[in-house]
C-alpha cells in the first residue's frame, strides 16, 4: 500500500538520540538520549562458584534428564490433561483454536508440567496485548467477547465458535458490512457471475475494507446449503445457486442465448459459474481466490519477511548501507498514553530509480518493530513508500530529501525500536536502525511539555483531517526537520521561517478565577556571542485562559539573522503552581 512522501525538505535534528552505529552506516536522533542499542538494562556479572568450597551444591532438579519411569508418567499425565474434557485440551482446541499458530500449538504440546503451561498461556496473551504495561489485556478480553458473540449468533446444532462464520468473526472481528439473504430465493446474478436469474440457498457476503496482511476490499461468502443455519465459507460463488443441478432452470445469460451449456459450469475450475461475459476474467482470478482462502484461514504473516531477518538476527549487509536519518518525538495523549511520532528522512541520491515512459520511480520498503523491555513485541508496522519525478528533472532532485512519518501510541516506559528499509530497485541496498526509546510519563500534578519540534513546514488542516494523516498532530500538520547527523543541528536558509511546535501540560488553574496564569518566554540566542537576538513573552491567559494545556505554534522570519549557530529556548513560569520548565533546540542559519 503506497504512501506519498513529502518531498524537498532538508533535514534537521533537534535533539540527539545516539551515536553512529558500529558499522558506520546510520545516523539518528531522538528527543531523549538513548541508553544504547538495547532496551535491556545492564546486568551485573554473576560471580563464578568455587566448587571446592561448595561440595554440597546440587544440580537444578528441573534441568536434569528424566528417567524412563518419569517420562512415562509425564506422558500419561499429559494424555489425561489433553483428553477431550481436560482443561488444557479445551484451551488449545476451543479457546484459541482460530488464533494460535501451528508452531505455538506444537510448542504447547511439548510442555512438561502445569507451571510451564500456565507460563505459556500468560505469554501467549502478552504477545498479543496492544498495551503490554496494562494489567488488563484488551486483546484477550476482545477475543472472549467475540467467542460469546459467535456462540450467541452463529450456533447451528454446534457451538457458534465452531462454525465458519464464528471462525472469521473471532479472528478478524465484525465485518464493515454484510449483504444477507437469510431466506435465499430469487436472485439476479451480477454480470461477473454470469447474469440471468436463479434461486439461491441462504447466503451472506461479508465485506472488510481492510484486513492486515491480506489486503483491501475483502469479500467473504458464506452459504447455508443445508438450510440449517450452518453457513460455510466458500470461494465458489456458484455454490449458492440452488438450481444449479435443475435442468432448464436458473440459466445464465450465455445459456439462455445458446452460447453455453449447463454442463460447462462444471469445468473443473474453482468456481461453477459457467461461461459468461466475464469468463476470462474469472478464470484469471481463480488463483487469487485460492490464495484468499489460504490466507484468511491462516495466522497473519509479516509482509516483508526478507527484511525481518535484519531485526531478529545480526544479519550482515551484503551491499552498501542504505543511509537514512531518524527522529522521535513525544506528545501526551492521555494520562497513560503518549504519541511517539517517528520521522524518517531519506535522501533522493540514496534511492535507486527506474525510468519508464519518461517517469523515474523509486520505492522503499519500511519495516518498523517496537518491543518493550521484556522483549515482547508491542507493534509491527510496514509500509511501501514511493517517489516519482519526471525523468528530465531526476538529476535536479538528487539533492532533495524525502520524509516518512509514523505515529506510535505507547504507554510510558522503555522500548526498543528497530527499523529496516530496503531499496526495492536494488534488493541488496538495506539500511538498519536500532535504538532504545524512553517514553516519558506525564504526571497530572507536574508541569511538563511535549518535545519541542522545529519544523520545515507547519500549517492548519481541514476539520475533517484533524487528528488523522501523516504529520498531523491535533489540527496542525507539522513536518519535523531531521538532522543529517547526531551532532548536527537543524539547518535553515536565510529566506526560510523558523517554525516550531510544542504543547505545555498540567498548567495550574486558580481556584477563584478558574484560569491559568503562566508566562511563556521565547528566547533565541546567538551561540557565537551568547547574546539574545530575540526575547519576547506572552501569557497563557491570551492563548487559552481556562485550559490546563496550551499549544505553542510560532513561525519567525530568519531573513534578518546573519549566518551562524543559534539556540531556541522556551521557558514556562507557572504563577499558579509555582513550577518552571524549559525546552531548548539548536539550529543553524546558512
If you write DSSP's letter for every residue of 546-584 in order, what string do you get? T-S-EEEEEEEE-TTSPSEEEEEEEEEEETTT--EEEEE
Q: Which residues contact 393 (CB under 8 A, 6 or more apart)?
A: none
Rounded Cα distance, 125 and 140, in Å: 6
Q: Which residues pair with 583 in a beta bridge?
A: 570
C-alpha cell of 133? 504495561
Sign of CA dihedral 273, 278, 280, 283: negative
CA gyration radius, the chain = 31
Q: Which residues contact 419 (CB under 8 A, 6 or more apart)?
A: 326, 342, 344, 366, 367, 368, 369, 432, 433, 434
**Within a domain: residue 325?**
no
**Within a domain: residue 279?**
yes
Sign of CA dihedral 300, 305, 310, 312: positive
**Within a domain: residue 285?**
yes
Rounded Cα distance, 474 and 138, in Å: 25
**Within a domain: residue 197?**
yes
**Within a domain: residue 557?**
no
**Within a domain: residue 202?**
yes
Q: How many CB atoms sit inside 10 A of residue 147's CB?
A: 20
Q: Are 571 and 577 within 8 A, CB to CB?
A: no
Rounded Cα distance, 479 and 453, in Å: 9
Q: Are 232 and 226 within 8 A, CB to CB?
A: no
Rounded Cα distance, 404 and 418, in Å: 15
What is the span of the domain harbouring residue 273?
175-296
Query: Phi and psi at residue 176, in whole multiples of 5°?
Result: -70, -25
Q: Are 16 and 486 within 8 A, CB to CB?
A: yes
Rounded Cα distance, 132 and 410, in Å: 9
What confidence score (pLDDT) does residue 76 get? 58
Number of domains in the chain: 1
Q: Which residues pair with 362 in a beta bridge?
A: 387
In three-state secondary structure terms, 172 is helix
Q: pLDDT tens digits, the chain, 590 residues: what are they?
A: 444 334 333 233 322 223 333 333 333 343 443 333 333 333 333 334 343 344 444 454 444 555 666 666 655 555 555 554 567 888 888 888 888 888 788 888 888 788 888 888 887 887 787 766 666 677 888 888 888 888 888 888 788 889 999 999 998 889 999 999 999 999 998 888 888 889 999 999 999 998 887 888 899 999 999 988 899 999 888 889 988 888 878 888 888 888 887 777 766 567 887 676 766 666 656 777 788 888 888 754 445 656 666 666 656 666 788 999 999 999 998 877 888 999 999 999 999 999 999 999 999 999 999 988 877 888 888 888 899 999 999 999 888 889 999 988 888 999 999 999 999 999 889 999 989 999 999 988 899 999 999 999 999 888 777 667 789 888 899 999 998 776 789 899 988 999 999 999 999 999 999 899 999 999 999 999 999 999 999 999 999 888 889 999 999 999 889 999 999 999 999 999 999 999 999 999 99
Q: Which residues pair with 498 in a beta bridge?
A: 556
Lookup result for grid cell 517517489 = 387
Where would I find the H helices in 235-285? Answer: 253-256, 279-284
Q: What letter would DSSP give residue 302?
A: -
C-alpha cell of 447? 508541569
Q: What is the pTM of this model?
A: 0.53
C-alpha cell of 352? 535507486
Q: Which residues contact 117 (CB under 8 A, 6 or more apart)?
A: 88, 108, 111
Q: Are 103 and 120 within 8 A, CB to CB?
A: no
What confidence score (pLDDT) does residue 179 get? 92
476-480/413-423 β-pairing: unpaired
In three-state secondary structure terms, 258 is coil
**Within a domain: residue 280?**
yes
Q: Are 453 and 503 within 8 A, CB to CB?
A: no
What confidence score (pLDDT) does residue 572 get? 97
What confidence score (pLDDT) does residue 68 get? 62
Chain centroid to Cα 388, Å, comes to 25
Q: Are 574 and 447 within 8 A, CB to CB?
A: yes
Q: Are 310 and 319 within 8 A, CB to CB?
A: no
C-alpha cell of 164? 465458519
C-alpha cell of 83? 483428553
**Within a domain: residue 269?**
yes
Amino acid at each position: 500500500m503506497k504512501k506519498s512522501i513529502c518531498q524537498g525538505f532538508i533535514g534537521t535534528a533537534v535533539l540527539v538520540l545516539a551515536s553512529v552505529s558500529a558499522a558506520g552506516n546510520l545516523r539518528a536522533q531522538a528527543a531523549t538520549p538513548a541508553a544504547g542499542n538495547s532496551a535491556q538494562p545492564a546486568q551485573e556479572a554473576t560471580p563464578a562458584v568455587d566448587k571446592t568450597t561448595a561440595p554440597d551444591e546440587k544440580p537444578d532438579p528441573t534441568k536434569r534428564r528424566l528417567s524412563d519411569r518419569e517420562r512415562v508418567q509425564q506422558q500419561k499425565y499429559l494424555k489425561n490433561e489433553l483428553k477431550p474434557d481436560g482443561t488444557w485440551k479445551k484451551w488449545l482446541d476451543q479457546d484459541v483454536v482460530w488464533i494460535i499458530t501451528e508452531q505455538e500449538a506444537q510448542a504447547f504440546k511439548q510442555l512438561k508440567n502445569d507451571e510451564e503451561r500456565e507460563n505459556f498461556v500468560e505469554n501467549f496473551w502478552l504477545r498479543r496485548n496492544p498495551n503490554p504495561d496494562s494489567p488488563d489485556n484488551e486483546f484477550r478480553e476482545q477475543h472472549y467477547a467475540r467467542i460469546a458473540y459467535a456462540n450467541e449468533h452463529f450456533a447451528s446444532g454446534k457451538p457458534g465458535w465452531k462454525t465458519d462464520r464464528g471462525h472469521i468473526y473471532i479472528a478478524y472481528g465484525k465485518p464493515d458490512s454484510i449483504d444477507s439473504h437469510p431466506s435465499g430465493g430469487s436472485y439476479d446474478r451480477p454480470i461477473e457471475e454470469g447474469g440471468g436469474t436463479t434461486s439461491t440457498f441462504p447466503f451472506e457476503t461479508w465485506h472488510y475494507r481492510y484486513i492486515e496482511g491480506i489486503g483491501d476490499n475483502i469479500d467473504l461468502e458464506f452459504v447455508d446449503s443445508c438450510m440449517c443455519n450452518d453457513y460455510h465459507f466458500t470461494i465458489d460463488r456458484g455454490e449458492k445457486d440452488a438450481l444449479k443441478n435443475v435442468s432448464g432452470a436458473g440459466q445464465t445469460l450465455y445459456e439462455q442465448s445458446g452460447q453455453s451449456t449447463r454442463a460447462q459450469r462444471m469445468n473443473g475450475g474453482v468456481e461453477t459459474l459457467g461461461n459468461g461475459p466475464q469468463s476470462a476474467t474469472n478464470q484469471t482470478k481463480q488463483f487469487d481466490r485460492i490464495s484468499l482462502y489460504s490466507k484468511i484461514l491462516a495466522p497473519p504473516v509479516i509482509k516483508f519477511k526478507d527484511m525481518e531477518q535484519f531485526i531478529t538476527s545480526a544479519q550482515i549487509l551484503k551491499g552498501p548501507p542504505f543511509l537514512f536519518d531518524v527522529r522521535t518525538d513525544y506528545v501526551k495523549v492521555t494520562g497513560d498514553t503518549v504519541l511517539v511520532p517517528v520521522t524518517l528522512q531519506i535522501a533522493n541520491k540514496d534511492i535507486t530509480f527506474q525510468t519508464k515512459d519518461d517517469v523515474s520511480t523509486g520505492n522503499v520498503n519500511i519495516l518498523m518493530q517496537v518491543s518493550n523491555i521484556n522483549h515482547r513485541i508491542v507493534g509491527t508496522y510496514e509500509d511501501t513508500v514511493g517517489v516519482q519525478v519526471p525523468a528530465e528533472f531526476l538529476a535536479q532532485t538528487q539533492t532533495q530529501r524525502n520524509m516518512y512519518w509514523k505515529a506510535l501510541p505507547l504507554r510510558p516506559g522503555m522500548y526498543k525500536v528497530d527499523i529496516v528499509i530496503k531499496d526495492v530497485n536494488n534488493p541488496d541496498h538495506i539500511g538498519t536502525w536500532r535504538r532504545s526509546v524512553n517514553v516519558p510519563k506525564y504526571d497530572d500534578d507536574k508541569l511538563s511539555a511535549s518535545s519541542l519540534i522545529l519544523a520545515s513546514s507547519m500549517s492548519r488542516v481541514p476539520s475533517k483531517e484533524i487528528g488523522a494523516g501523516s504529520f498531523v498532530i491535533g489540527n496542525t500538520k507539522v513536518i519535523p526537520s531531521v538532522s543529517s547527523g547526531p551532532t548536527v543541528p537543524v539547518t535553515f536558509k536565510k529566506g526560510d521561517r523558523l517554525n516550531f511546535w510544542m504543547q505545555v501540560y498540567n498548567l495550574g488553574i486558580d481556584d477563584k478565577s478558574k484560569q491559568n496564569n503562566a508566562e511563556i518566554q521565547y528566547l533565541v540566542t546567538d551561540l557565537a556571542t551568547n547574546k539574545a537576538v530575540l526575547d519576547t513573552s506572552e501569557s497563557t491567559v491570551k492563548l487559552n485562559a481556562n485550559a490546563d494545556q496550551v499549544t505553542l505554534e510560532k513561525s519567525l522570519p530568519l531573513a534578518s539573522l546573519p549566518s551562524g549557530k543559534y539556540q531556541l529556548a522556551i521557558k514556562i513560569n507557572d504563577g499558579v503552581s509555582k513550577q518552571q520548565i524549559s525546552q531548548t533546540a539548536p539550529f543553524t542559519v546558512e
